[in-house]
Chains A and B, each alone.
Chain A
């Protein structure tokens, strides 16, 4: 097949690091270790590894491979399968856009925390430990009473958000060439920081107790449906699939280059990062348990509280290097989040816009950065955390899982899983067998729909999500259906580029 004119990675390493950077993110540090602790310790890794092989790696190969085949972002890929399917490429683009709007605000919080850590602003010792929660909810977020009370934007977060988008623009406006080079450093630096944090963590008194909670296997949990649901959903979230970006990242790879091995390397690296991040987090949880003499269920290990409350508690109580540990931890979080943010924005949104509308990279990048910043202002308000939670449920759960399942079905049955496999095997280091076809056609969509139905509809249709008022919880469905409708509208817009995204 002839090489076409499209932007390219400058080499294999930049592509692999960009793919790893897109996969590893904030969730590796706070969500994976928590799930492992909650679902049987080390036993959680059994369904997780199974999920990695039967769901994560085939799905990533599919997204990379289809982008590589059509040399386009997600909408171009599905338009290539059949014009009537183009909406299925736009839906994950909108999912990526709405996710990066709030994801960038979380990175802005990490920036604020990095600065606050310099002086351990929430306080030292027992007083600091008690004040850490208030510091997050009252000082950083200035949290209101509910989603109906938006209040004013928190100006320091808004300024940090603006800075984040300026930095994202500077990385993205030159395209894959710069993204690849920057990714090499932005992946290696947090890995080094994680190693430092692990060493710091395991040398703290009480660390062993936390690690026991994290790793001690409870085999009885293996027979619970919940553990399989949790493992499969975490695989989907963690690998950044169903967010359109992997199609574009795959499309920047030259025609004769490997896809399958790169997908496997990115997937294994992401899982290994999660696993080792757990050592840094749970050694500190053990230390907090001992320092405050409290059981683990009293330590806030769930959700963002783990990063923004529990870790600061630990920093306050540490016998030394408090500020340094805080700065390193939040820098690490910030770097992890940053690589995922430009993946979402560039691969997920900017590249598809350039493919469709023939916009220059500068114009598309500037438009997306400004639009994301403006929408992101919602999450910097005093009621922003509630809306972050609601939109996250809508997009990061339903959006990516449903679009992922549909994409696999259309590729598997419409385009042809065998055809994709033959394309992958023509240039890849690792040859995939016929098992791949059935993974894409049946197993991956079935697993994703199982998660949507069992972990989503079953709960959210019975009662409002997280006890929010019905009108606020209903926004989960409004946004989900709204993005679907917009996807069909975008499908009807005339495409202004040839294959490869070059203007006609």
Chain B
């Protein structure tokens, strides 16, 4: 793969998985969910 494609893939994956990770880390912080 070209350098551009690799860098692009890494940045996009970090943004998406980072965003998802942040949301998952906030689970239950509202403290009012009864699962």
Contacts and interface: CB of A to CB of B under 8 A. Distances in A.
Interface of A: 11-13, 41-43, 45, 49, 208, 211-212, 214-217, 254, 256-258, 261, 264-265, 268-269, 271-272, 275, 427-430
Contacts of B17: 272
A261 B1 CA distance: 36
Given A42-B7, A429-B26, 6 more contacts: A42-B9, A208-B1, A211-B1, A265-B20, A268-B23, A272-B17
A256 B16 contact: no
Nearest to A263: B23
A41 B11 CA distance: 13
Given A265-B23, A272-B16, A429-B28, A41 B34 contact: no
A275 B16 contact: yes
20 contacts: A41-B4, A41-B5, A42-B12, A45-B12, A208-B1, A212-B2, A215-B4, A215-B9, A216-B4, A217-B8, A256-B32, A256-B33, A261-B23, A264-B19, A264-B23, A265-B23, A268-B20, A272-B17, A429-B30, A430-B23
Contacts of B13: 275
Contacts of A49: 12, 15
B12 A427 contact: no
B2 A258 contact: no
Contacts of A43: 8
B5 A261 contact: no
Contacts of A272: 16-17, 20
Top-8 shortest CB links A-B: A42-B8, A215-B5, A268-B20, A429-B30, A429-B26, A429-B29, A272-B16, A256-B32
Main secondary structure of the interface of B (DSSP, over half): helix
Interface of B: 1-2, 4-9, 11-13, 15-17, 19-20, 23-24, 26-30, 32-35
A257 to B, nearest CB: 5
A326 to B, nearest CB: 26
Nearest to A52: B19
Contacts of A217: 4-5, 8
A97 to B, nearest CB: 32
B30 A261 contact: yes
A268 B30 contact: no
A15 B20 CA distance: 16
Nearest to A427: B32
Contacts of B24: 265
A212 B8 CA distance: 10
A13 B16 contact: no
Contacts of B1: 208, 211-212, 215
Nearest to A271: B16
A42 B23 CA distance: 24
A256 B34 contact: yes
Contact of B30 (A214, A275, A428): A428
Nearest to A430: B26
Nearest to B8: A42
Given A12-B35, A45-B12, A216-B5, A427 B30 contact: yes
Contacts of B7: 42
Contacts of A261: 23, 26-27, 29-30
Contacts of B6: 215
A91 B13 CA distance: 37
Contacts of B33: 12, 256-258, 429
Nearest to A9: B35
B29 A268 contact: no
A16 to B, nearest CB: 9
Contacts of A13: 35
B28 to A, nearest CB: 7
A217 to B, nearest CB: 5
B33 to A, nearest CB: 5
Nearest to B20: A268
A305 B33 CA distance: 44
Contacts of B27: 12, 261, 429
A80 B34 CA distance: 27
Contacts of B30: 258, 261, 427-429
Contacts of B16: 268, 271-272, 275
B18 to A, nearest CB: 9
B32 A258 contact: yes
Given A208-B1, A428-B30, A275 B12 contact: yes
A217 B33 CA distance: 42
A92 B16 CA distance: 29
Contacts of B26: 261, 429-430
B35 A215 contact: no
A300 B6 CA distance: 25
Nearest to B26: A429
A272 B19 CA distance: 10
Given A269-B20, A429-B28, A430-B23, A212 B15 contact: no
